[in-house]
Copies of this chain bind each other. A is one copy, B any other.
């Protein structure tokens, strides 16, 4: 890509994630957007396009939200990329602003999962045979245990940390901290992953305003890279397709930002299951391959550690309304890098990274991975 403009995040908004079956999804979406617009100090009239991520919200979901904000006639693009939908919308919005197509755009991620179970993709042969997402992550955990000696305690410590962080986050679905014992003794979902090591479905919406002009409290989007999985499982007995993907995409993101893992002050990563966060440490270059378990056990990813990961509580505490998650990660980056994260603030944070993985697709690992890098 040639010379492009700098791109800023100038305001954010979010609903608390949780069960909100009684309202319409458009109510949640418009609430998040209104907050983001207010936070940026602009009105909907200044917004030139809307990028809206969701997976289960019917047709023209973003346009339905605009009814409550002002039907200004702007282009609206609805994006689906499973768990990485919100990050994909952010990626598209950033690229469009960087290219000069728009100056100020709104990114919205939303999902209302209380209204029905996730329907299976009709051609997901792996899931039909039992290789659902929890099972797949459990196999990745087992593999890590076998290869590198990851322990059940180390896995559970990810949940303990994230639930502790989530208890400081008013937007998190689960704000109740849990002890190591409570996490380990919670119901087994897919061995070795117990209940509190898995994210939960949720309703919720998150929105950010992106612009080529900084305004008030702004942070810079230094990179945002999207890619999909490359390998087939036939060749991949080690379940490493997602790892290859995260390594490849984060490498491109670091290059685009002109920064490295050593520059990152905090990260929001895709802890749909605790093993996901352990692998993220390694794939994003925060530690060496095989040392992810030690990384959390040594407290390096704790709120007061060397590199706090998921200060928001991550997917495990915040809950995971698919399309909303990536945008919620960006909201957390904004609050952290502008010093507004309250009791979960990472002191002096200047560079942050978000990582989202989505769409477990038969044979190719994740269908989407987005790594974005932000700085003050």
Residue numbers of A with Cβ under 8 A of B are 1-2, 4, 24-26, 55, 58-64, 66-67, 71-82, 88, 91-92, 95-96, 98-101, 115, 119-123, 226-232, 245, 248, 358-359, 361-364, 367-368
A-B contact pairs, 21 of them (CB 8 A): A1-B101, A25-B122, A26-B123, A60-B80, A60-B81, A60-B358, A62-B367, A63-B229, A63-B364, A63-B367, A64-B361, A64-B362, A64-B367, A71-B228, A71-B229, A73-B230, A74-B228, A75-B91, A78-B81, A95-B101, A115-B122
Of listed A64, A73, A226, residue having the most chain B CB within 10 A: A73
Q: How far is the CB of A224 from chain B (nearest CB, A)?
A: 11
Cα(A5)–Cα(B22), bound, Å:
48
**Are B367 and A76 closer than 8 Å at their CB atoms?**
yes
**Are A67 and B1 closer than 8 Å at their CB atoms?**
no
**Are B66 and A82 closer than 8 Å at their CB atoms?**
no
| Nearest 8 A/B pairs, CB to CB | A60-B359, A63-B367, A99-B99, A60-B367, A73-B230, A78-B80, A75-B226, A59-B82
**Are B227 and A60 closer than 8 Å at their CB atoms?**
no
**Are B67 and A363 closer than 8 Å at their CB atoms?**
yes
Of listed A75, A79, A96, residue having the most chain B CB within 10 A: A75
**Are B73 and A81 closer than 8 Å at their CB atoms?**
no
**Are B24 and A122 closer than 8 Å at their CB atoms?**
yes
Residues of B within 8 A of A88 (CB): 77
Residues of B within 8 A of A77 (CB): 79, 81, 88, 92, 226
Chain B residue with Cβ nearest A88: B77
**Are A60 and B75 closer than 8 Å at their CB atoms?**
no
Residues of B within 8 A of A99 (CB): 1, 4, 95, 98-101
Beyond the given pairs A75-B227, A95-B96, 13 more chain A to chain B contacts, judged by CB atoms under 8 angstroms and listed by A's residue number, are A59-B82, A59-B367, A61-B80, A63-B364, A64-B362, A67-B364, A71-B228, A71-B232, A75-B226, A75-B368, A76-B81, A77-B79, A78-B79
Q: How far is the CB of A38 from chain B (nearest CB, A)?
A: 22
Given contacts A59-B80, A60-B367, A77-B88, contact A24 B72 (CB under 8 A): no
Cα(A98)–Cα(B108), bound, Å:
25
Cα(A71)–Cα(B367), bound, Å:
10
The residue from B78, B80, B228, B231 contacting A66, defined by CB atoms under 8 A apart: B228
The residue from B2, B121, B358 contacting A100, defined by CB atoms under 8 A apart: B2
Q: How far is the CB of A98 from chain B (nearest CB, A)?
A: 8
